[in-house]
Chain A
Amino acid sequence: MKSTKFSPMTQEQIDKKWWEIGNYFRRNSLWMLMYCTGCCAIELPPAMTSAYDMERLGMGPMATPRQADVLLVTGYLSLKTLRRLIYTYEQMSEPKYVVGFGSCTINGGIYHDSHAVINKLDQYIPVDVYVAGCMPNTEAVMNGFTDLMGMIKNKTARGWLDYKERNDWYKKNQLDSLGEVLVHDEFHE
C-alpha cells in the first residue's frame, strides 16, 4: 500500500513550480523596448493606442533595456545599427525575448542585396517570434505578441537560454559580419 505521507518536492521541482508561476507574471506583463530601425515601427502606434490597445494585454513601452522584457526589432538592420542592437540586447535583464518585425529581419526583405544591411537577424541574436509582412498588419503584430505569450506559457520562448548556450556561435556570426562588436571611431578616443 502506498504511503499517503507528504513527500517533499526536490529543489528542482520547487524551482520548476516557481518558474511556472513566474511565467504567468511574465507573459501578462511584457514590457517592450522598441528598437525602431525601420518602417515597421509605424505599426506600433496603432497597436499601442486606442485602435488595438496593447495595454489590455499588459504590454507597455519602457524606456531602457534594463527594464524591458521584450526587444522589438522593427525593420532592417544596417551593420552600424546591429552593433548597437547587440549591445542593447545584452543589457536586458533575463529572461528576455526578441520579436522581429517584417521581412527585413527574416531574410533582408527589399534590402536583401544591400552591402550594408544584414539579412537574417536570428544569426546574430536569438529571435523568439517573427511577424512577417512588408510591412505587417497591426493585427499580425498583435497576433505575434499573443503568440509570444503562448510560447512563454509553453516554455518554448527559450531564445535567451539559447544565446547563453550557443554564445560562441552567435559571437562568431556577429564578428564575421561586423569585424568587431565594439566601435572605435572619431568620437571615442
Chain B
Amino acid sequence: MVVNILVGLGVALFGFVLQTAMGGINRKIVARVQKRIGPKWYQEFIDIFKLFSKRSVSHGWIFDFGVIMALGGIIATAMFMPVTANIIAFEGYDNFFIFVYLLAVGMLGMAMSASGSGNPLASIGVMRALTTMLAYEVPFMIVVMTIIKLTGGTSSVSEIAAFQQIAGNNWFIIALPLGGIVAIISLMGMLGKKPFETYIAPAEIASGPMVEYGGKQLGMLFVMHEITVFIEVSLFIHLFLGGAATLGVYLLKYFLVYTALNLISSVYARFKIDQVVVFFYKWPLFMAVTQAIIAIYLGWVI
C-alpha cells in the first residue's frame, strides 16, 4: 500500500514536471509562431518557484483552505492516472468517472477559495468556469459513454487503452471520427484554451478566479493547473489515442496532442461565455449523439 501511494505521488510529480516542461516548450513554440524568440524551456519552473519565494496575502482561512483542497484533490486524481500500461499506482481502480469527479473536488476547492477572497471578479470567473464546464462536459461524456459501451463495458482508462492496442481495433479517434472531433473540441474547453478561455480572460475580468492570488497560493494553483492539464491530456491519450505501451510513446503522444492544441489555440480569439455554451450544445452535442447512435445501435465503427 505504501509503495502504491509512493508510485501515485510519483505519477503526480511526473505529471507536474512533464506538463511544466511541456508548457515551457509550448510557450517557445507559440512564440515562434508569432515570430518571437520565446522564453527558456524551463521558464514555467522558474515562474512557479518564484511564486513560492514571494510573500503573499491571505483573505482568511477559507482562502488558504480552498487552495490546499484544490491542490490535494488534483494530486489525488493524478495518483489514479495510468501513464503507460505498466506505470499505474492502483491497478483496476482507474475508473473514468473518478477522474471526472475527483477532478471536480479540486475545482470546487479553487472555486471556494476564489469566492472566499471577496473579489467579485473572482466569482465571475468561477461562474464562467462552471458554465464552460457545463458546456464541454456533456458532449465529452456522451462520447466516452460510446467508448465504454464499445469496449464491452469497461470504464477503466488503462483497459480502454489496452483495448485499442489489440490488433484489429483502431484508435478511437479513428474508429469514432465524429466523437474524436468532439473530444478534441471538449479538450480545448477543459484546458481553457482559446477560443474557450472565457473564464481566465485577463483583459476582461483580470484573470478571473486567480485575481486575488499571489505568492505561494498562486504557485500552488499553478502546480494544480499543470497537474490538471496532465490529467486531461493523459485521459485523451488513453481514451482516444490508444494509450501508450512505453514511456517514449507516451511522451511523444503527449507532446503532439498538447502542441497541436496550443497551435490551434494560438490563432483563435476568445468566445463570449454564452457563445461557448451555445456552441457546445449545437454541433459537438449533436455530433456526439449521432456518433453514439450510429456506433451503439448500428454498429458502424471504423
A residues near B (Cβ < 8 Å) are: 18, 21-22, 25-26, 28-29, 31, 49-50, 53, 55-58, 61-69, 91-95
Q: B215 to chain A: closest CB distance in Å?
A: 5
| Cβ 8 A contact of B54, one of A21, A49, A50, A94 | A94
Residues of A near B214 (CB, < 8 A) are: 65-68, 92-93
* A50 in complex: contacting residue of B36, B53, B213, CB < 8 Å: B36
Inter-chain CA distance A63–B207, complex, in Å, is 6
Counting chain B residues whose Cβ lies within 8 A of the other chain, the interface size class is 20 to 34
Please measure, in the bound complex, the distance between the C-alpha atom of A117 and the C-alpha atom of B273, giving whole angstroms.
Answer: 40
CB distance from B212 to the nearest CB of A (A): 6
CB atoms of B46 and A58 under 8 A apart = yes
With A25-B50, A66-B213, A66-B214 as contacts: A94 and B43 at CB distance below 8 Å? no
> Which A residue sits closest to B44, measured CB to CB?
A29
> Distance (Å) between the CB of B283 and the closest chain A CB?
32
Contact A58 B40 (CB under 8 A): yes
CB of B202 within 8 A of chain A? yes
Instruction: Answer whether residue B47 sits at the interface, using C-beta atoms and an 8 A cutoff.
Output: yes
| Contact between A58 and B56, CB atoms less than 8 A apart | no
Would you call B43 and A29 a contact (CB within 8 A)?
yes
Give complex CA distance A22, B216 in Å.
13
B264 within 8 A of A: no
| B206 is an interface residue with CB less than 8 A from chain A | yes
> What's the least CB distance linking B166 to chain A, in Å?
45
Extra 20 A-B pairs, beta carbons < 8 Å, given A18-B53, A50-B34 = A21-B53, A26-B50, A26-B54, A31-B47, A55-B31, A55-B37, A56-B40, A58-B43, A58-B46, A58-B47, A63-B206, A63-B210, A66-B57, A66-B211, A67-B210, A68-B214, A92-B214, A93-B57, A94-B55, A95-B54
Q: Which residue of A lies closest to B212 (CB)?
A: A66
Q: Please, how many angstroms separate the alpha-carbon atoms of A66 and B38 in the complex?
A: 25
A/B interface sample: 26 pairs, CB < 8 A: A18-B53, A22-B53, A25-B46, A26-B50, A28-B40, A28-B46, A29-B43, A29-B47, A53-B36, A53-B37, A53-B38, A55-B37, A56-B37, A56-B38, A58-B47, A61-B202, A63-B211, A64-B206, A64-B210, A64-B211, A64-B212, A66-B56, A67-B207, A93-B54, A93-B57, A95-B54
B65 interface contact, C-beta 8 A: no
Interface centre among A49, A62, A63, by most chain B C-beta atoms within 10 angstroms, is A63
Q: Which residues of B contact A95 (CB under 8 A)?
A: 54-55
CA distance A65 to B31 in the complex (A): 25
**B49 lies within 8 A of chain A by Cβ:** yes
Q: Which residues of A contact B118 (CB under 8 A)?
A: none
Q: Which B residue sits closest to A26, measured CB to CB? A: B50
Flag if B27 contacts A55 (CB, 8 Å): yes
Which of B34, B36, B213, B218 sits near A56, CB closer than 8 Å? B36
Whether A93 contacts B55 by the Cβ 8 Å rule is: yes
- Docked complex Cα distance between A63 and B37 (Å): 23
The closest CB in chain B to the CB of A59 belongs to: B39
**CA–CA, A25 to B37, complex, Å?**
20
Per-residue 0/1 for B47-63: is the Cβ within 8 Å of any A Cβ (1 yes, 0 no)? 10110011111000000
List chain B residues, Cβ under 8 A from A63.
202-203, 206-207, 210-211
A39, B142: Cα distance in complex, Å: 53
Residue of A nearest to B216 (CB): A93
Q: Which residues of B contact A67 (CB under 8 A)?
A: 207, 210, 213-214, 218
Complex: A4 Cα to B235 Cα, angstroms: 54
Q: Which of chain A's residues have a CB closer than 8 A to the CB of B38?
A: 53, 55-56
Which residue of chain A has its CB nearest to the CB of B204?
A63
Most chain B beta-carbon neighbours within 10 Å: one of A22, A56, A57: A56
A68 and B202 alpha carbons, distance in the complex (Å): 13
Contact check, A29 vs B207: say whether CB atoms are below 8 A apart. Answer: no
Is B215's CB under 8 angstroms from A93's CB?
A: yes
Question: Closest chain B residue to A53 by CB distance?
Answer: B36
Bound: A94/B43 CA distance, A? 21
Measured CB to CB, the nearest residue on chain A to B202 is: A63
Q: Mark B24-43, 1 if CB is under 8 A from A, else 0.
A: 00010001001111111001
Task: Find chain A residues with CB under 8 A from B210 CB.
Answer: 63-64, 67
Q: Report which of A55, A68, A69 forms a contact with B39, defined as CB distance below 8 A.
A: A55
Cβ < 8 Å to A, chain B residues 159-215: 202-203, 206-207, 210-215
Task: Give 3 nearest A-B pairs by CB, closest first.
Answer: A22-B53, A66-B214, A93-B214
User: Which single residue of chain A is at the shortest CB-CB distance from B215?
Assistant: A93
Chain A residue nearest in CB terms to B27? A55
